[in-house]
A and B are shown apart, each in its own frame.
Chain A
Amino acid sequence: MDVGRHPNINLLAYSEVEKVEGQAGDFRVTVRKKPRYVDESKCTGCGACAEKCPTVTSDEYNLGLGKAKAIYKYFAQGIPSAYTIDATICRNFQPGKKCGICQKVCQAGAIDYKQEAKIFELSVGAIIAATGYDLFDARRIPEYGYGRIRNVITALEFERFLSASGPTHGHVYRVTDLAAQEALPEMEKVCQKAVKGLERYEKQFSMTSDEFYGRYESGEFKGGNEEYDKWAAAVVAARKATAELEVLQKKVESIESAHRLAFIQCVGSRDIRFNKYCSGFCCMHAIKEAIIAREHDRDAQVYIFGMDIRAVGKGFEEYRNRGAKEAGVHYIRSRVAEITEGKNHTPIIWYEDTKERVVRQMPVDLVILSTACQPSASTRRVAELLGIELNEFGFYKTASYPPLDTTRPGIFICGCAHSPMDIPESVAQASSAAARAAQVLAGSGTMRLAS
């Protein structure tokens, strides 16, 4: 919040660094501010535009689990609070198409379809790269079925399900059940339309469809009016739609929240095929999600499958025990070999119980994959721009002392761009990087540079 208001912070959102020249104490940086097609200084963030926007897409903030419009705010509390038009899908930007609805409804007059990218030249003394991380793509482990078995999701997707601002407002359902709930209104519409289509014939021939169809079946109207055949076909279609709707309605009525939840740890980390390192925060993340899931649903049964639980931070071991005691979390020391899909889209976990040395299976409602922290997609590009090196894992290379100095003087890093870490550690590193940058400005920061 304070970032948007602080007089000393020039916030350049929706922008990318294009070029960096110079050296510590005197860098010249070119920044490109991408066009939002919305005037940030005029937009009040009221949302009238998105309400009326006809183009629906999936919501990136909610990892595609929710819906967004072509004119969108990345998330509700986002700063700056201005909306942005996604020109790749907005009708106004497609050849031969027109729209202009958002411009009409915007009372602030903030919509500007002709807005262009702006280039800024900045002069700075020091640079801090805090480019964060991406999550391991679980599709790379096909035996876990992510992307194929729909009730297998990632921990960040589960986080969105648990969130009051998420796509399910904090309720946890199986993904396949959500899909059924979503499909219901559409099916109702199809059914209504099919039934309504019969009215025309009923009026024309002054007969109910049921009566007509009975007589048609017994051969009464054969070979006569073509309209009879059409009517009969419409009756069959309507009955089919009604039957399908009933099945779906029953299914939706019987939907319960997902009670049996299983977390799989080390998905893409501590795995010689992908990342050898420990991703650090996932154990605690899983425990946290387990505790919250239990808070939302007292009947939830949570299992965490992992080689070991790494709870090394302040208060972490106590948190682990609290998970077991208060939330009834079962920690299962194991390696999961495969996840298969059973009846009714139920994921089945096949694992080796390493304590008892037997292979077991467990059906659950939802499988949650704790995917590894990896360098963000932009890390390599930013490293090239800044002229700094990467380490063997693709994170920025740093000196062993001082630990946030990169291979180029005057450029520092912090947070998960350094290595996987949790939020308190990221914050502590950020303050440390800020101090290092301030030292450069004071004329002393480069003195202690490691070779």
Chain B
Amino acid sequence: MNRDVLVIGGGIAGIQASLDLAEMGIKVHLVERLPSIGGRMAQLDKTFPTNDCAL
């Protein structure tokens, strides 16, 4: 049994999945196509319904 996990996509979903697994003590390989992670959410200014800053 292999103990690592591969996550494809570094948007908010991929980031959250990676962090959860990493916090469980599991080694994660996070692959992102673009030069930086963040995905669409990084393009948002604020988020509903609280108008918190997205970044």
Contact = CB atoms under 8 A, between A and B. Distances in A.
Interface residues of B, number: 52
A309 interface: no
Interface stretch (A118-126, A174-182, A252-260, A332-340): A118-126
B40 A132 contact: yes
Given A16-B31, A433-B17, A426 B1 contact: no
16 contacts: A3-B19, A8-B23, A8-B25, A13-B35, A17-B6, A36-B35, A74-B36, A75-B38, A77-B42, A78-B42, A128-B7, A132-B40, A166-B45, A415-B13, A430-B12, A441-B2
B8 A130 contact: yes
Contacts of A437: 5, 17, 21, 26
Query: Which of B6, B15, B21, B31 has most A Cβ within 10 Å?
Result: B6
A284 B49 contact: yes
A130 B37 CA distance: 12
Main secondary structure of the interface of A (DSSP, over half): mixed
Interface string B23-55: 111111111111111111111111111110001
Interface residues of A, number: 84
B18 A3 contact: yes
B37 A79 contact: yes
B51 to A, nearest CB: 7
Given A3-B37, A417-B9, A10 B49 contact: no
A31 B29 contact: yes
Contacts of A79: 36-38
Contact of A417 (B5, B13, B49): B13
A433 B29 CA distance: 15
A27 B2 contact: yes
Which 5 residue pairs across A and B have the least CB separation, nearest first? A415-B13, A78-B36, A430-B16, A130-B14, A434-B20
A223 interface: no
Given A12-B32, A17-B31, A124-B29, 12 more contacts: A7-B22, A13-B35, A15-B32, A26-B1, A78-B37, A125-B5, A132-B39, A133-B40, A415-B12, A416-B40, A430-B12, A435-B20
